[in-house]
Structure 1
Amino acid sequence: MIKISLFIILAQLISAQNLENANTSPIHILGTINKIEPPTQLDTLFNPLWVKDLGLLLPCKNIKIPKSASRLPNAPRDYRNGTHRGIDFFANWGTEVRAVTKGFVIRADHNYKEYPADFRVKML
């Protein structure tokens, strides 16, 4: 009985495949594939010439600006509403750090806690 039922089910599945239907034929499916142009690659490297005329100092002598876009402002992040707002410089422990211009140091460690909104308003 099981063999007969299985045969009937398979026969129905096979007969359901109507190759005469233009929408289900392999020719129709393969004939509608369109070639897609690869996306243009965005600039992922920082060019120091972009900021040459800003007159800012680098925070550490002899430490280069990172070239990876993920280390620069506007890189995507899982925190701070999804946007990186700084530049990540990599230096050895004990490297002297200087201010690039007048302002406030907001973060210099791995245990960052968000400043309250009223403090940020006062900074403006």
Structure 2
Amino acid sequence: MTRLQSIENSLKEINETVFQELCDSLLIRRNNNYSAFSRTGSQSGKQKTTVGTPDSFFLLSNGKYIFVEHSTNITKGVNKLRDDIEKCLDDDKTGIHINYIAEIIICLNFNLNTSETELLQ
């Protein structure tokens, strides 16, 4: 087994909270142009997720937001992701008008085909 395959298999085996923490850690390293970061979908000091939209967000220095949604739910797959995106775009749920959303990042540990990706686009 290659190292990549080992990593991919390990990602499928971790729980949703650890996956969310890992993804957020990687995104923080990738995005250094933010003035605030919040993990709204996690309970502080506990390894548990919470219901909320978005799961995490960055407030950029220009006043816009990057919303982050995480999913390990292969059973609900693209339908859950579509619902997550729609919730991110609902300013009643987020308190943020769509004009202030620069990007929505989706972190998942399963594959999407091209038609599923296009649907989410």
The structure with the greater share of residues assigned to helix is 2
Larger Rg: 1
The structure with the greater share of residues assigned to strand is 2
TM-score tier by shorter-chain length is: under 0.3
